[in-house]
Amino acid sequence: MRPIQILLVIALLRAGTILAGDAPTPVVPSRPSSEKPLQEVLVSADHAGPALWKVTSGQHLLWILAEPPTPLPTKIVWRTKQVEAALAGAQEVILDGGITFNSLRSGMPLSAAAYEDMRTIPGQLTSLKDVVPADLYRRFEALRLAFAANYDSMEQLRPWSAGFELSKHVMKSLSLSNTVVSDTVVRLGWRSKVITLYTYADYSEFKKNSTSSRMVSCLDEIVAELEADRDDLQRLGDAWSVGDVDALREATLRQKPDTCALDMFDNDQQAREVTAHHTEHWLAAVDLALTSRERTFALVPADKIFAPDGWLTAIRARGYDVQEPH
């Protein structure tokens, strides 16, 4: 389960949580007895903790911490001494907010009614079962009954919305979180200026595509991720917390492309263009940091670090010195 890919860092969806604030919260059943509970990751004193990349330009320094590609146990214990030291002298902390379809920036304010229409299947006689393939619905329903049995109204949600709601319930039931690392970074970097970089895509595209059959593949992706072996999740948490870069790289590169994000666009070309724009947005922040800040800290999704054409490759192409973790 990927933290950003499954839940998508889409401000619209965050707004949806607020818009739906008055709705009753469905009761999440306790973990089935057959479900293997995740254990806290205890990191011994022999390990330095999560790996850090060091980027320099003259006297300017940027520390980069990889954000793991999956949610982590909420009670994960990871040694933060290196991270604390890197954050201690940082004037600025850069977080990646990702690509968002925030209606506030689109000139198309989103009302509660409009949001509900976007996420709900119209018509009393039509449900999720009627709009997705039978096998996908069977797999979805098995997870819903295991982790959100009392959330019957999930059946009336469009595929993408049902997937996000199911993912939230599974993570809550298994005590997982996709903000464990970022929350810690913000807490430790409280003395620094914290900026979150967003790239605002065309809200009208999201509004149109959110109601189309394109989003069925998004639900399929989410269900497949939730069905994955949770032992892999534990091993990845272990690898990240002790700075095992090779294991983290292997697990990250094994991840599939984010279908949910791609399907928000009309076509792949639009998705590539917005992604490229977001990369340039982040690199501009790095350029500024490495020319005007003595010390900066950045939390970067692992896939953007390890991808052959990822952000570290782009940093090197700009002439900055990048030192890999030891």
pLDDT in tens, 239-285: 888 888 998 888 888 777 777 877 777 777 888 888 899 999 999 99
Q: Is the pLDDT of residue 143 over 90?
A: yes
CA separation for the pair 178, 238 (Å, rounded): 15
Q: Do the Cβ atoms of 242 and 43 come closer than 8 Å?
A: yes
**Structural domain contains residue 217:** yes
SS3 for 154-165 is HHHECHHHHHHH
Three-state SS at 109: coil
pLDDT in tens, 185-235: 999 999 899 999 988 777 677 777 777 777 898 899 999 988 876 667 777
What burial class does residue 125 get, using C-beta atoms within 10 Å of its C-beta: 0-12 exposed, 13-18 middle, 19+ buried? Answer: exposed
pLDDT tier at 236, thresholds 50, 70, 90: confident
Q: Do the Cβ atoms of 47 and 54 come closer than 8 Å?
A: no
Q: Is the pLDDT of residue 16 over 70?
A: no
| pLDDT of res. 108 | 53
- DSSP element (H, E) containing 53: strand 52-57
- Torsion of Cα atoms, 64 then 258 then 202 then 105, to 10°: -40
**Structural domain contains residue 265:** yes
**Structural domain contains residue 303:** no
Supply the pTM of this predicted model. Answer: 0.80
| pLDDT of res. 41 | 42
Tokens of 307: 């991808």
Residue 89 DSSP label: T
Residue with the two structure tokens 């967003």: 198
| pLDDT of res. 235 | 75
Pick from 47-56, 104-113, 279-288: least confident: 104-113
Q: Is the pLDDT of residue 40 over 70?
A: no
Three-state SS at 138: helix
Q: Is the pLDDT of residue 38 over 60?
A: no
Q: Do the Cβ atoms of 76 and 241 come closer than 8 Å?
A: yes
CA separation for the pair 71, 60 (Å, rounded): 32
Q: Is the pLDDT of residue 311 over 70?
A: yes
- How confident is the model over 309-319, as a mean pLDDT? 95
Total domain count, the chain: 1
pLDDT tier at 157, thresholds 50, 70, 90: very high
**Structural domain contains residue 35:** no
Q: Is the pLDDT of residue 160 over 80?
A: yes
| pLDDT of res. 315 | 97
- How confident is the model over 8-21, as a mean pLDDT? 31
Three-state SS at 137: helix
Q: Is the pLDDT of residue 309 over 70?
A: yes
Got the DSSP string for 193-252?
EEEEEEEE--HHHHHHHTTSGGGHHHHHHHHHHHHS-HHHHHHHHHHHHTT-HHHHHHHH
**Structural domain contains residue 206:** yes
Percent with pLDDT over 70 in the chain: 79
Residue with the two structure tokens 């689109």: 106
Q: Strands 60-67 and 193-200: what pairing?
A: unpaired
What's the full length of the chain, in residues?
326
Alpha carbon separation from 97 to 20, 42, 102, 298 (Å, rounded) = 22, 29, 12, 12
**Structural domain contains residue 42:** no
Q: Is the pLDDT of residue 121 over 70?
A: yes
Q: Which domain holds residue 228?
A: 3-21+77-298+310-323
Percent with pLDDT over 90 in the chain: 43
Q: Is the pLDDT of residue 89 over 80?
A: yes
Which residues make beta-bridge pairs with 297? 63, 93
| pLDDT of res. 111 | 66
**Structural domain contains residue 64:** no
**Structural domain contains residue 287:** yes
Spatial neighbors of 211 by CB under 8 A, at least 6 apart, are 118, 158
